[in-house]
Amino acid sequence: MIGIPLGRKLAHSAAESEEYRLKNSSEEMPNPFFKKLLKRFEWINENWEIRGLGKLELMKVESDATKLMIHNRAHSALSAGWAAATQEFLTKSRFRFHWTDDGNAECLVTLELDQRHIPKAMKVDPRWRDNANSDPIAEGMHPLELAHHDFDGVWSIDGIRMMGITRDMLLRFEESVMPQLLGSTQMETEKFTWETLQDSERKKIWSGFAEASKIRFLDTDQMVLIAEPEHWIHVGHRFLTRTGLGGVTSVEGIDDQGGVKLHLSKLFHPAIAAGILSAAWERSEARPCKLQWSCSHNGHIIQISSLYDLA
C-alpha cells in the first residue's frame, strides 16, 4: 500500500480469519470410516471453489514438515494463510509456515509443527454500523451472478479474476498493520473525514486505505460520466455492488459544483468504498475532492465535494 512489505501480515490475518470461520461454521465436516482425509480435502475444496481460491492439495507429510500445493492460487500470501489454517483445523495442530510461488499459478506451502501455545482466533467486530434492515435485492445483482466460472477455483468478472475474502479477514489485517503503518509513514488526512469513527489513530489508517483504493482506481482507464446526481446510483452499482463492496441506495446534490450526498445501506469496508467513490468523482469532475463519511443504524452517508472552492 505504501511501499512496506505486508505479505506476512496478510498471510497471518488470512490464517486467523480462516481458523475462526472453520471453527464457527454451521456446516459439518465429513467424518467417514474410510479415506477420511481425502473426503475432508474434497469438502474444503468445495468451499475454495465457490470463493475462487484455487484448489488445495496435500503433497507430502513427513515427521518434520507438511507440504501443501495450491493450484490456480488467487494470491500467494492469502492462499498460504488459508492453507495453513485449514491444515491446523484438520489435524488439530499448530504450524509455522512459509510459502514459495511455483510458476505462475501454483504456490507451495511448507508447514512445520509449532509446540508453542497460540491462543485461538477470537471474533473481531467492525467499527461501523450497517443498516440491518436493508433489502439485498435493492443493492443490485449479486457478484456471483455476474461472474464467469473459468475453471477449478477460478472466477472472473469482465475478464478480471475475482476471489471472495471476508470482512473478518480485512479487519484482522487492519488491526495487525496499525502499529507498523503509523510508525513508518505520514497518512494524508486532509481529503478524508471519518465523522463517527472515534479512534484518531484508526482515522489515519482508514485514510491510508482510502488513498490506496483511490490510487488503484485512478491507475485504471475506467471512465465515469456524471450528468445528474442520480447517475451515482449506477456508479455505485458498477464499481461497488458488482464486486461485493456495497451499493448506493439514494443520492442528493448538495451544491452546483458536483457535490453529492450518497446514502449506502451496507459497506464491506467504508475506507475502500470511500477511495473508489472519491476516485470516481475526480475522474468525472477532473479536479481533487474531499470526502466525509458517517454512519448510524440507518446505514452510511458519504458526502463528496470539491477540495477547493471554484472562483
CATH number for position 35: 3.30.1380.20
- 51 within some domain: yes
Domain carrying residue 23: 7-113
Query: Which pLDDT belongs to residue 136?
Result: 55
In a shared domain, residues 144 and 275: yes
Query: Which pLDDT belongs to residue 303?
Result: 98
**Is the whole model's pTM more than 0.85, yes or no?**
yes
CATH number for position 231: 3.30.1380
Query: Which pLDDT belongs to residue 10?
Result: 95
In a shared domain, residues 217 and 75: no
Ranges of the chain whose pLDDT falls below 50: 1-2
List helix spans (H) across 265-309: 270-285
Hey, what's the cell of 220? 485504471
Counted domains in the chain: 2
Per the CB < 8 A criterion, the answer to whether 240 and 142 are in contact is no
- 128 within some domain: no
Burial (CB count <10 Å: 0-12, 13-18, 19+), residue 257: middle
Query: Which pLDDT belongs to residue 139?
Result: 56
- 279 within some domain: yes
Per residue in 34-43, pLDDT (tens digit) is 888 899 999 9
Q: Report residue 180: phi and psi, to 5°.
A: -70, -45
Query: Which pLDDT belongs to residue 1?
Result: 47
Hey, what's the cell of 145? 451472478
In a shared domain, residues 193 and 292: yes
In a shared domain, residues 94 and 153: no
In a shared domain, residues 177 and 102: no
In a shared domain, residues 166 and 18: no
In a shared domain, residues 99 and 240: no
In a shared domain, residues 140 and 106: no
Per the CB < 8 A criterion, the answer to whether 121 and 137 are in contact is no
In a shared domain, residues 153 and 217: yes
Query: Which pLDDT belongs to residue 296?
Result: 93
- 127 within some domain: no
Question: Angle CA(13)–CA(14)–CA(15) in degrees, nearest 5?
Answer: 90
In a shared domain, residues 150 and 83: no
In a shared domain, residues 49 and 187: no
Per residue in 177-209, pLDDT (tens digit) is 888 777 655 666 689 999 999 998 899 999 999
- 216 within some domain: yes
Q: Report residue 141: phi and psi, to 5°.
A: -65, 140
Query: Which pLDDT belongs to residue 61?
Result: 86
* CA-closest candidate to residue 264, choices 153, 131, 137, 132: 131
In a shared domain, residues 237 and 107: no
- 131 within some domain: no
| Last-in-domain residue among 79, 113, 147 | 113
Query: Which pLDDT belongs to residue 135?
Result: 64
